[in-house]
Structure 1
Amino acid sequence: MIKSAIQFVVFLVFCQWACAQMPYTNPESVGLNGDYINTQVDSIMQLAIKEQAFPGAQLLVAKQGQIIFHEAYGYHTYDSINKVSLNDIYDLASVTKIVGPLPALMKLYEEGKLDLDAPFNNYWNAWKHKKTKKHITLRELLAHQSGMQPYIVFLSRVVKNGKLKKRFIKTEASKRFSNQIYEGIYVKNRFKNKVFRNINRSKVSNDKTYKYSGLASLIYPEIIENITGENYTDYLQKQFYKPLGCETLGYLPKTKNFKNTIVPTENDSVFRKTLTHGWVHDENAALLGGISGNAGLFGTATDLAKYMQMLTNFGTFNGNTIFKPATVREFTKIQYPENNNRRGLGFDKPLIGNDTLNITKAYPAPQVSPESFGHSGFTGTFIWADPKAELVFIFLSNRVYPSRSHRNIYNLNIRPKLQQVFYNATLTN
C-alpha cells in the first residue's frame, strides 16, 4: 500500500520506467475507490501469506489502458530474506499456453496458413493414419473438445528407482546433449522425438466433451516452425514481444543476464534434487529443453499487462496492430456452449452461468463479463482480460514453494476474491 508522498513518488517513477507504454494513474480517475481497493487487497494478501497459500505475490490491475494498481507482498520464500519486487520475473507455467504458442497460431490463422476446422493432420502428418486422431481439428484441440487424454508424465521415462537414466540425461553438455534443463543437467536433443511418439500413440476418448488436455501444446512450437520456417522463439519475439515492448517475456531467462530477480518455485525432491530457480518448473517442458508450448515462459507483470491490454483492445497496442479484431473475437469466444464447454480457442473463459454463482463456486470472480478471458498457471499465476469492463488483471505468485502440495491459493479462493475487489470498488464503497 502507498503510505506516504515519498512512496508515491518512488512508485510513480518506477511505473513510468517499467510501464512506459501503459501510463500509471490512480483508481479514482477511472471511477474506482483507491482506499477500498488498498484495504481489501491488503487484507486478502496478508491472510494468504499467513495461511501459506504462497510466500509472496504481486498484483497488477489496469483499467481503461492505465495501470491503477501494482503492489508486491511478502517474500520469495518463507525465510523472509528476499522481498517480492515489482519487476521480479516469474515462471508462468500454463499461462505460457496463451502467451507463447497461441498468438503464433492466431497470426497463422489470420494469414490463412491454418484452418481451424481442417483435420489437424494437415499440419501434423503423424496423425494421418491414426484412426482415433485423423479427424481431430485444431478448433477441437484448442477448445479441449478433442477427447485427448489430459497429460503424460514424461519424467517417468527418464527416472528409474529415483535415478536419472544416463541414456537420456547427462551432467555435461555435448553435441547430442546440448539442451540444458538445470545446472549440471542436460537432456538428449532427440528426446523430443520420444515425446512426440508418445503423444501420437496416446489414447483418445470417443466422448467428445470438454476434457482439458495439454498434450497438443507440446506439439504447437514444432508446427509453428514448420509453417513459418523460423525458429519458434525468434518468431514470438519478432511478431509479438518486441512490438509490444515486452522486455523480459520469453524462455530460458537464466541465459539472458536480466538484472531482474527470478522468483524460485519448488524444492524438487524427484528430478533436480534442489530448489528449482531460474529454470522451468514443469517437467515436460524441462525435458523439451525448457522451450515448450505448455510451459516454459517467464516474465514480469508489466510485460503480461501489455500483452493482455493488446487483446483487450482487440489486437492493437500503442499504435501497433498485432491482430485484426475479428481474430481476437474468434479465439476469445466460447466454442462449444452446447456441450457446456466454457473454453475459447486456447483461452479459458468464465464458467457458463458464472454470474449466478457466489465467490466460493465461481470461476473466476462472479462479476467478470462473459466476454472476458485468460488462463491460470500451476505455479500460482493468473492473467485475465475483460474487454467489457476494460480491466486487465495480472496475479503472480510461487504457490508451489516449497512444495506443490500447498493448495491454499485454491482453498481460500484468493485470486477470485482479489479480482472481485476491482468490480466492487465503485466510488460509493
Structure 2
Amino acid sequence: MKNILTKIAIVCLIFLGMNGYSQEKSKKPFDVKRNEVYIDSMMTNALSKGFFPGAQIMVGTKDGILISKNYGFQDYYKKQAVKSEDVFDLASMSKVLGATLVTMRLVGDGKLKLTDQVGEIVPMYKNTAISDLTLFELLTHTSGLTPSITFYQALLSTPDNSPLLNKEKSEQYVEPFDVMFVNKNIVYDSKYLAFEPKENWVQIYKNMWLNPEFYPSVYDRIAKANTNPRGKYLYSDLNLLLVKQMIETKTGKKLDQFTNEIYTELGISRIGYNPLKWTSIDNVMPTEVDNLFRKDTIKGYVHDEAAAIFGGVSGNAGLFANAESISVICKMLMNNGNFKGKQILKANVVKEFTDSPLAKEGIYRGLGFDKRKPDEFFTKDDFGHTGFTGTFFFMNPNTNRFLIILTNRVNPTRTNRLMYKDDFSTKIWKQINK
C-alpha cells in the first residue's frame, strides 16, 4: 500500500512539475535584446521597401514599457525624423480608444445598456428601419449596416455630370486618387461648403466649412443603410457613427468631452481629436495627398472623410495619438480597468467588452474591440484594433504583453498596402509573444 501511494505521489509531482513548466514557459521572461533586434530588422526592411515613411513601436506589459522606438521620417522627403511626441492619425483605432471607452464608462455607470435600441435613444431614428438595432449589435458589427457611405461625395459634382472618378487616366482625369483618377472639373456645392468661416458652420478642414443643414441627409442615408442580414458579422463604420449619436443624445455631452475626461484621469495628453487644438502641426504625421476632396496633403486634420464632415470628431475615426499615450490605456485595460490605484473602468465591464460573446457562432469580435480567430498569430484572448492609416495595437492578457505600431502608410497614397502583404504587424505580434 505504501509503495502504491509513493508511486501516485511521484506521478502527481511529475504532473505538477510539467504543468508548472508549461505555465512558466508561457510566461517566460521577455528577451528585450532579441526582440529589439528582430523589430529593428523588420523596420529596416519595411523602410527600405517603402511600407511607410515612419513609425513608432512600443512593447509593454501591464506594469511597464519593454521597448519604445521611433523609426524613419514623417514623410518621404526625409526632412523631419519621427519623434516620440509625434502623433499619428489612428483611423479605426479611434473606434475603441474613443467611442468604445466612453461606452464602457457609461455602461459601468448604468447610463447605457447593451440592450438599448437606437430608436429609443435617438428620436430621429424612431420610425426607421434601424430603430430596433441594439448597442450590442452596433459594437459587435452584427447590425447589418453597409460597411460605409461616401457622404462627402454628395458635396461634389461636375458641370457636365461626368463621373467624379475614372479608372483610366486621360486629359480630363489627371490626378490620382486611390486606384482611380480625379475629374479636373469638380465643383463644390456652395449651399453646403464654404472656403471661409461662416457663423454656425462646422470646420471640416483648414480652409473648408460645412453647413450643418447637410447632416439630415447623412442621417437619412444611415437610416436606410440596413441592407444586410442582422446577426451576421459585417464590419461597418456606420455602427460607430450611431454609437456616438447614442452617447451624445443620452448624456447631452459631446464625445470629445467624454474622451478628454477619461484621458485626463489617465494623465495622458498626447491623444485626442483635432490635434492642432492641442499640439503643433510639426508634431503631426502627414497622411494622404487628397486630390479629390481637400486638394491637399492632409496634415493636422483627420484623413477619414466621414469623420472630417463631422468636424473631426466621430465614432469611427478622428483620434490622433502617440504610442506613449496609448500604452497607458493598454496598461489600464490589462489591469482590469485600474490605473495607478484609480478604477477608470469597472473590471466586469472590461471583461465583458474584451471577451468574444459570439465566438460559438464563428464571430470573433469583442464589444468594439477587434479579436481574431485563433491562428499562428493570435490567441482567443487577444484583443485590440487596427487602423486604415497603418496603425495597430493588441493586448495578450496571458503573456502580459501589448504591442503598439503607429505608421502613416497612406502617405502619400492609400494604395500602398505593402505592410499588409508582408503581415508586418502580425509578425511582430507573434514574435513578442513567443
**What TM-score bracket applies, with the shorter chain setting the length?**
0.7 to 0.9
Match of 1:117 in 2: 115
Query: Partner of 1:186: helix, strand, or coil?
Result: strand
Match of 1:22 in 2: none
Match of 1:332 in 2: 354
The superposition leaves residues 319-344 of structure 1 with CA deviations (integer Å, 9 ceiling, x where unpaired) of 21111111001111112123211011
- After TM superposition, the structure 1 = structure 2 runs for residues 270-419 of structure 1, keeping only pairs within 5 Å, are 270-351=292-373, 353-354=374-375, 357=376, 366=377, 368-419=378-429
Match of 1:170 in 2: 194
Q: Distance in 1 between matches of 2:140 and 2:45?
A: 35
The one-letter code matched in structure 1 to 2:291 is: S
Q: Cα distance, 1:188 vs. partner?
A: 1.5
The one-letter code matched in structure 1 to 2:243 is: Y
Matched, 1:127 2:159: no
Match of 1:137 in 2: 134
Q: Cα distance, 1:64 vs. partner?
A: 4.0
The one-letter code matched in structure 1 to 2:270 is: T
Q: Cα distance, 1:285 vs. partner?
A: 0.5
Match of 2:143 among 142, 146, 166: 146
Q: Distance in 2 between matches of 1:208 and 1:96?
A: 24
Q: Cα distance, 1:258 vs. partner?
A: 4.0
Query: Partner of 2:283: helix, strand, or coil?
Result: coil
Q: Cα distance, 1:386 vs. partner?
A: 1.6
Structure 1 125/335 Cα, relative in aligned 2: closer, same or farther at 3 Å? farther
Q: Distance in 2 between matches of 1:371 and 1:308?
A: 14
Over the matched positions of the two proteins, sequence identity in percent amounts to 33
Asked whether the equivalents of residues 118 and 246 of structure 2 are also in contact (C-alpha less than 8 Å), the reply is no
Asked whether the equivalents of residues 330 and 395 of structure 2 are also in contact (C-alpha less than 8 Å), the reply is yes
Asked whether the equivalents of residues 61 and 69 of structure 1 are also in contact (C-alpha less than 8 Å), the reply is yes
Q: Cα distance, 1:260 vs. partner?
A: 6.4
Matched, 1:420 2:430: yes
Matched, 1:202 2:219: no
Query: Partner of 1:39: helix, strand, or coil?
Result: helix
Match of 2:288 in 1: 266
Q: Cα distance, 1:259 vs. partner?
A: 8.1
Q: Distance in 1 between matches of 2:205 and 2:56?
A: 26
Asked whether the equivalents of residues 60 and 395 of structure 1 are also in contact (C-alpha less than 8 Å), the reply is yes
Query: Partner of 1:327: helix, strand, or coil?
Result: helix
Query: Partner of 2:329: helix, strand, or coil?
Result: helix
Asked whether the equivalents of residues 53 and 407 of structure 1 are also in contact (C-alpha less than 8 Å), the reply is yes
The one-letter code matched in structure 1 to 2:236 is: S
Asked whether the equivalents of residues 349 and 370 of structure 1 are also in contact (C-alpha less than 8 Å), the reply is yes
Q: Distance in 1 between matches of 2:107 and 2:264?
A: 21
Q: Cα distance, 1:134 vs. partner?
A: 3.3
The one-letter code matched in structure 2 to 1:418 is: I
The one-letter code matched in structure 1 to 2:142 is: Q
Match of 2:96 among 91, 98, 107: 98
Q: Which runs of 5+ in 2 are unaligned?
A: 1-26, 159-185
Q: Distance in 1 between matches of 2:95 and 2:270?
A: 17
Greater mean alpha carbon deviation, residues 138-147 or residues 105-114: 105-114
Structure 1 228/118 Cα, relative in aligned 2: closer, same or farther at 3 Å? closer
The superposition leaves residues 279-309 of structure 1 with CA deviations (integer Å, 9 ceiling, x where unpaired) of 0000010011111111111111111110121
Q: Cα distance, 1:404 vs. partner?
A: 0.0
Q: Distance in 1 between matches of 2:279 and 2:354?
A: 35
Matched, 1:245 2:267: yes
Asked whether the equivalents of residues 301 and 395 of structure 1 are also in contact (C-alpha less than 8 Å), the reply is yes
Match of 2:175 in 1: none
Q: Distance in 2 between matches of 1:200 and 1:260?
A: 40
Asked whether the equivalents of residues 87 and 260 of structure 1 are also in contact (C-alpha less than 8 Å), the reply is no
Q: Distance in 2 between matches of 1:96 and 1:200?
A: 23
Asked whether the equivalents of residues 110 and 327 of structure 1 are also in contact (C-alpha less than 8 Å), the reply is yes
The superposition leaves residues 306-365 of structure 1 with CA deviations (integer Å, 9 ceiling, x where unpaired) of 0121111110001211111110011111121232110111000022x32xx4xxxxxxxx
Query: Partner of 1:295: helix, strand, or coil?
Result: coil
Asked whether the equivalents of residues 193 and 210 of structure 2 are also in contact (C-alpha less than 8 Å), the reply is yes
Q: Cα distance, 1:265 vs. partner?
A: 0.4
Question: Which of structure 1's runs of 4+ aligned residues deviate more than 3 A?
Answer: 257-260
Structure 1 257/410 Cα, relative in aligned 2: closer, same or farther at 3 Å? closer
Greater mean alpha carbon deviation, residues 328-337 or residues 112-121: 112-121
Match of 1:87 in 2: 85
Q: Cα distance, 1:187 vs. partner?
A: 1.4
Q: Distance in 1 between matches of 2:284 and 2:135?
A: 34
The one-letter code matched in structure 2 to 1:261 is: N
The one-letter code matched in structure 2 to 1:152 is: I
Q: Distance in 1 between matches of 2:229 and 2:91?
A: 29
Matched, 1:60 2:58: yes
Match of 1:227 in 2: 250
Match of 2:19 in 1: none
Query: Partner of 1:157: helix, strand, or coil?
Result: helix
TM-score normalised by structure 1 residue count = 0.85
Q: Cα distance, 1:66 vs. partner?
A: 0.8
Q: Distance in 1 between matches of 2:215 and 2:318?
A: 15
The one-letter code matched in structure 1 to 2:416 is: H
Match of 2:214 in 1: 191
Greater mean alpha carbon deviation, residues 227-236 or residues 301-310: 227-236
Q: Cα distance, 1:156 vs. partner?
A: 1.3
Asked whether the equivalents of residues 85 and 270 of structure 2 are also in contact (C-alpha less than 8 Å), the reply is no
The superposition leaves residues 350-395 of structure 1 with CA deviations (integer Å, 9 ceiling, x where unpaired) of 22x32xx4xxxxxxxx2x4322210000011111112222112111
